Amino acid sequence: MTIGLGAQGFEIAIYIANRPPIEPYPVLDHLRPLTEGEIKHIADKTGNHWRKIFNVSAKFLFELQNDEEFKTWQALRDQSLYQAESPMALLFSKPDLSEPNRIHIIAGKTYAQALGLENLLWLDPYFAIDKDNKVIICPYLDYRQLSNARISQLVGLVKNLST
């Protein structure tokens, strides 16, 4: 079962080991899109940790899409990220690698190790890839771990898997 934040039909899944610690997220048992203003609500109620997760997610998607719809990553975050039309989902469930047209990004080396994923080729201390299953291991969604330079590296890896 797919559990997390996003809409059906997403193309990119980011898997994370934790959930926002406010209702209804700890007991969420399905995939559902965020609504406008919900990211701000979560960040206001939970603090900087979740703000960073959403900001890093938005920076990544903004750089990946490189389209004209949003002028800034902040606009993308507030108007689209993990909402009904977003091509990306933030998942709390374990990866389902049976979807061949989906890219799976595991946030955090520790979480990836706990999942017991195999066939990973470590490219450097921060990134691993399994091309056959379209899996990428990346640093956790935090400014210090997934810096702007590493976001650009992640974008490149995703683009390579998309072709």
DSSP letter assigned to residue 27: G
CA angle at 34 for the pair 29 and 35, rounded to the nearest 5°: 135
Sign for the CA dihedral angle at 156, 2, 45, 112 comes to: negative
- What pLDDT digit, counting tens, does each position of 91-150 carry? 999 999 988 789 999 999 999 999 999 899 999 999 999 999 999 999 999 999 999 999
High-pLDDT (> 70) share of the chain, %? 100
Q: What are the structural domain ranges in the chain? A: 4-162
The overall pTM is greater than 0.75: yes
Separation between Cα atoms, residue 136 and residue 97, nearest integer Å: 12
Per-residue pLDDT of 46-101, as tens digits, reads 989 999 999 999 999 999 998 778 999 999 999 999 999 999 999 999 999 988 78
